[in-house]
Amino acid sequence: MATTIQRGKPIYAFSKENAPVAFVKPGDEVIIETYDCFEDQIASEETDYDAIDWNRINPATGPIYVQGAEPGKTLAVHIEKISVKNSGVLSTGKNLGTMGHRLEDLQFKITPIEQERILFNEKIKIPFNKMIGVIGVAPEEGAVNCGTPGEHGGNLDTTLITEGATLYIPIFHKGALFGLGDMHAAMGDGEIGVSGVEVGGSATVRFEVRDDLNIHYPLLSNKQGIAMIVSKNTLDEAAKTSVEEMIDFLSPYTDLGLGKLTMLMSAIGNAQISQIVDPKLTARFFVPRWFLNAYGIYTL
Ligand code: CA
Ligand code: ZN
Whether residues 188 and 47 fall in one domain: yes
Whether residues 50 and 124 fall in one domain: yes
Whether residues 171 and 227 fall in one domain: no
Ligand nearest to the CA of 183: 2
Neighbours of 26 (CB within 10 A): 15
Question: If you measure from the C-alpha of residue 295 to the centroid of ligand 1, how many angstroms do you get, rounded to a whole number?
Answer: 35
- Phi and psi angles of residue 260, each rounded to the nearest 5 degrees, phi first: -65, -40
Domain count, the chain: 2
Whether residues 51 and 121 fall in one domain: yes
Query: pLDDT category, 145, cuts 50, 70, 90?
Result: very high
Whether residue 300 lies inside any domain: the answer is: no
In whole angstroms, give the CA distance from residue 178 to residue 63. 5
Residue pLDDT, tens place only, 243-272 = 999 999 999 999 999 999 999 999 999 999
Q: Report the candidate in 173, 177, 165 with the shortest Cα–Cα distance to residue 131.
A: 165
Last residue of a domain, one of 192, 210, 228: 210
Question: If you measure from the C-alpha of residue 269 to the centroid of ligand 1, how many angstroms do you get, rounded to a whole number?
Answer: 26
Question: If you measure from the C-alpha of residue 253 to the centroid of ligand 1, how many angstroms do you get, rounded to a whole number?
Answer: 34
Last residue of a domain, one of 158, 182, 210: 210
The per-residue pLDDT for 1 is: 76
Question: If you measure from the C-alpha of residue 147 to the centroid of ligand 2, how many angstroms do you get, rounded to a whole number?
Answer: 9
The per-residue pLDDT for 260 is: 98
> What does pLDDT average to over the chain?
97
Whether residues 189 and 227 fall in one domain: no
pLDDT at position 184 over 80 = yes
Whether residue 299 lies inside any domain: the answer is: no
Ligand nearest to the CA of 282: 1
Whether residue 242 lies inside any domain: the answer is: yes
Query: Structural domain of residue 162, as residue ranges?
Result: 3-210
Residue pLDDT, tens place only, 83-121 = 999 999 999 999 999 999 999 999 999 999 999 999 999
* Non-local CB neighbours of 182 within 8 Å, separated by 6+ positions: 34, 36, 37, 58, 60, 132, 133, 134, 146, 155, 157, 198
